[in-house]
Amino acid sequence: MNAFQKLGLDDNLLQAIADLGFETPSEVQENSIPILLEQETDLVALAQTGTGKTAAFGFPMLQKINIDSRTTQGLILSPTRELCLQIANELKLYGKYYKGLNVTAIYGGASITEQAREVKRGAQIIVATPGRMKDMISRRLVDISKIEYAVLDEADEMLNMGFYDDITDILSHTPENKCTWLFSATMPKEVAVIAKKFMDNPIEITVGNKNESTSQVSHEYYLVNARDRYQALKRLADANPDIFSVIFCRTKRDTQKVAENLIEDGYSAGALHGDLSQNQRDLVMKSFRNQQIQMLVATDVAARGIDVDDITHVINYQLPDEPEVYTHRSGRTGRAGKTGISMVIVSKSELRKIKTIERVIKKEFVKKEIPDGMEICEVQLMSLANKIHNTEVNHEIDDYLSSINELFEDTSKDELIKKFFSVEFTRFYNYYQKAKNLNIEAQHSSEKDSSSSANSTRYFINVGKKDGFDWMKLKDFLKEVLELGRDDVFKVDVKDSFSFFNTESELTPKVLEFFTDFKHNGRFVNVEISEDKGRGTSRSKRRRGASSRRSGDSKPRGDRRSGNRSERRSESRSKRSGDSSNSNRKERRSNIEKKSTEASFSRPRRSRRK
């Protein structure tokens, strides 16, 4: 008898569970399924996101409703359209062996008549957002007067979103004697009020601690200028000598680029994205599993299958568009009972995304500072000292000891230690002694808009209305060819034969490089940084002018067209390396870095971690 059988589930469900590959019930499933199967009771269950709540109410509901009837018997309210669809899909999977089962999702932003038609076909279960549900009730497009089970899923979130009145209204159309099952990650006062008002002596189940995540992952963010992203990444790596991490970028191109830069800078890194062959990906994954690669740079899609247990850090080099994706990313660490850290390198204009993610993961981020140079030197020094302390002596060197001893005859122990550690320390010290502070201050929200425009670049592009573009089409076009995210292209302004648009300044090199020899409908598309000061009168336009000049400095327009593509590329790479604007120092430093990192970073890492 398997663990699901023991809960009392019938064969149809057990078969579907086997197909899905679920082996053991989660805690919330184990606790709630037997109760819900055996009793007609109200229930309040508190469990974190990702603990399998859908099945906890879905299995019992599927087993208890009458599939031969076409009456709506189960209603599930959930806060968002995405969750609605997700729950409906999960229920369809769980119930795939129940012939004649109809699960219908009802949510805003899609055709109400189509949804009504689906309900009419005989939906035994409706999964709905409160807003659309209320709407459909008032238009008499659904009948929930005979439901036996009502589920309030993510109740805390629904209340956060202001659905209290809608929920009250919806439930007033349901029978008194139905069972109500409330699922929530947290139990704020408002949820307790709802439980009291709509439920009758509910059984309470709590998985993990109330109002506290059971997960082992802590979340940190580091606020830096967008152009310092890569430097920040290196410092985070240097400050964590035993790091074993996945670094997430948004596009394949950025993934490749960051990995290449890290390798060039002497880190044990590798790239994982969809443009690599299966064979290449297998090799990278093998090295990563063996911990020969410390930093795996990956796209979200490519990282989907990563099931490595010992990952110490997840670094969000760029944040994903969808906050839910962040959950998947951070879930790569803190597995198998270990603790993990999920770090986000964030620029000012993305700060609001942190707030959104906090709402989704129901945990707060800690704002941290990128360590300064001396901190890193100290960490590296102590890490080396510990490594030496823990090293087992290899007696193969005994034969050579007499000559070594001879060499150090006049050196005191104290002196010897200092010399020994200086070998490693000096490398970091030279690199970091004049490193600048990468941290920036968050501004008050009233200033946020201007800061984001100060960090953005305005471009001129020689296509416009007569090429068939309107602002939306041009935005889509740019997003597609440049592989950018949803919010990356903005202030698109289409004129007759030319247009303007903005991106964050961080993306400027990428945009300019891409359009050096790009043809659209047989014509070269020319993109330049706009000096468009005359256009428009607002203050922000002027500020934009200033920022274009700055971007112009870092990538002079004259240079752009000279030389072939690979020359330009290597030029931009050499520009990228180094931490400071002083080119002499930069050169010297990158030499030191390259030589010494080869000697140290890329040597095989033996007993890397305890």
Q: Applying CB under 5 A, which residues contact Mg ion?
A: 53
22 belongs to the binding site for ligand ADP (CB under 6 A): yes
Q: What is the nearest approach in angstroms of ligand ADP to the Cβ of residue 213?
A: 12
**13 or 144: CB nearest ligand ADP:** 13
Q: What is the nearest approach in angstroms of Mg ion to the Cβ of residue 79?
A: 10
Q: Distance (Å, rounded) from C-alpha 572 to C-alpha 501?
A: 23
**80 or 590: CB nearest ligand ADP:** 80
**DSSP assignment, residue 504?**
E
Segment lying near ligand ADP (by CB under 6 A), choices 25-33, 325-333, 582-590, 595-603: 25-33
Q: What is the nearest approach in angstroms of Mg ion to the Cβ of residue 147?
A: 20
**54 or 457: CB nearest ligand ADP:** 54
The interface partner of residue 353, options being Mg ion, ligand ADP, none and the CB cut-off 5 to 8 Å by kind, is none
**129 or 551: CB nearest ligand ADP:** 129
Binding residue for ligand ADP, selected from 49, 280, 516, 597, defined by CB under 6 A: 49
Give 346's strand partners.
223
Q: Which helix (DSSP H) or strand (DSSP E) does residue 278 occupy?
A: helix 278-289
Q: What is the nearest approach in angstroms of ligand ADP to the Cβ of residue 23?
A: 6
The interface partner of residue 25, options being Mg ion, ligand ADP, none and the CB cut-off 5 to 8 Å by kind, is ligand ADP
Please work out the total of residues on this chain that contact ligand ADP, with binding judged by CB under 6 A: 12
**17 or 171: CB nearest ligand ADP:** 17
**47 or 150: CB nearest ligand ADP:** 47
What tokens does 507 get?
């993306």
Give 527's strand partners.
461
25 belongs to the binding site for ligand ADP (CB under 6 A): yes
Binding residue for ligand ADP, selected from 46, 52, 297, 428, defined by CB under 6 A: 52
Burial pattern 88-124, b for ≥16 Cβ within 10 A else e, equals: bebbbebbeebeebbbbbbbbeeeeeebbebbeeebb
Q: What is the nearest approach in angstroms of Mg ion to the Cβ of residue 153?
A: 6
**DSSP assignment, residue 365?**
P
User: Phi/psi at 388 (nearest 5 deg)?
Assistant: -65, -40
Q: What is the nearest approach in angstroms of ligand ADP to the Cβ of residue 54?
A: 3
Q: Distance (Å, rounded) from C-alpha 268 to C-alpha 259?
A: 9
What tokens does 358 get?
């906090």
Picking from 17, 146, 124, the residue whose alpha carbon sits closest to that of residue 65 is: 124
Picking from 28, 46, 29, 31, the residue whose alpha carbon sits closest to that of residue 210 is: 46
Q: What is the nearest approach in angstroms of ligand ADP to the Cβ of residue 26?
A: 5
**53 or 235: CB nearest ligand ADP:** 53
50 belongs to the binding site for ligand ADP (CB under 6 A): yes
Binding residue for ligand ADP, selected from 33, 36, 43, 55, defined by CB under 6 A: 55
Q: What is the residue-wise DSSP string for 519-560?
A: EETTEE--EEE----SS--SHHHHHHHHHHHHHHHHS-HHHH
Q: What is the nearest approach in angstroms of ligand ADP to the Cβ of residue 341?
A: 22
State the amino acid at position 580 in one-letter form.
S
95 belongs to the binding site for ligand ADP (CB under 6 A): no
Residue recorded with tokens 């410092």:
235
The interface partner of residue 509, options being ligand ADP, Mg ion, none and the CB cut-off 5 to 8 Å by kind, is none
60 belongs to the binding site for ligand ADP (CB under 6 A): no
Segment lying near ligand ADP (by CB under 6 A), choices 23-31, 227-235, 475-483, 588-596: 23-31
Binding residue for ligand ADP, selected from 31, 54, 73, 102, defined by CB under 6 A: 54
The interface partner of residue 208, options being ligand ADP, Mg ion, none and the CB cut-off 5 to 8 Å by kind, is none
Question: CA-based Rg of the chain, rounded to a whole angstrom?
Answer: 29
Crossing angle of helices 413-432/373-390, nearest 10°? 140
Segment lying near ligand ADP (by CB under 6 A), choices 18-26, 64-72, 282-290, 549-557: 18-26
Binding residue for ligand ADP, selected from 12, 31, 32, 51, defined by CB under 6 A: 51
Segment lying near ligand ADP (by CB under 6 A), choices 53-61, 330-338, 370-378, 594-602: 53-61
231 belongs to the binding site for ligand ADP (CB under 6 A): no
User: Cβ contacts of residue 495 below 8 Å, gap of 6+?
Assistant: 464, 465
Q: What is the nearest approach in angstroms of ligand ADP to the Cβ of residue 56?
A: 7
Q: What is the nearest approach in angstroms of Mg ion to the Cβ of residue 49?
A: 7
Binding residue for ligand ADP, selected from 7, 12, 53, 155, defined by CB under 6 A: 53
**DSSP assignment, residue 327?**
H
Q: What is the nearest approach in angstroms of ligand ADP to the Cβ of residue 16?
A: 11
Residue recorded with tokens 């044990």:
268
What tokens does 355 get?
């707030």
Q: What is the nearest approach in angstroms of Mg ion to the Cβ of residue 78?
A: 7
Q: What is the nearest approach in angstroms of ligand ADP to the Cβ of residue 30?
A: 9
**CA within 13 Å, CB half, 586:** 13
The answer to whether the CB of 322 falls within 8 A of the CB of 295 is no
Q: Which helix (DSSP H) or strand (DSSP E) does residue 354 occupy?
A: helix 351-361
**DSSP assignment, residue 67?**
T
User: Phi/psi at 176 (nearest 5 deg)?
Assistant: -60, -40
**147 or 185: CB nearest Mg ion:** 185
**58 or 266: CB nearest Mg ion:** 58
Q: Which residue pairs from 228-232 have beta carbons closer than 8 angstroms and sit at least 24 positions apart in sequence?
A: 228/438, 229/317, 229/318, 229/345, 229/347, 229/506, 230/258, 230/261, 230/576, 231/438, 231/579, 232/345, 232/370, 232/438
Binding residue for ligand ADP, selected from 26, 439, 451, 600, defined by CB under 6 A: 26
Segment lying near ligand ADP (by CB under 6 A), choices 52-60, 137-145, 204-212, 319-327: 52-60
SS (H, E, C) 443-490: CCHHHHHHHHHHCEEEEEECCCHHHCCCHHHHHHHHHHHHCCCCCCCE
Which residues lie near ligand ADP (CB under 6 A)? 22, 25-26, 29, 47, 49-55
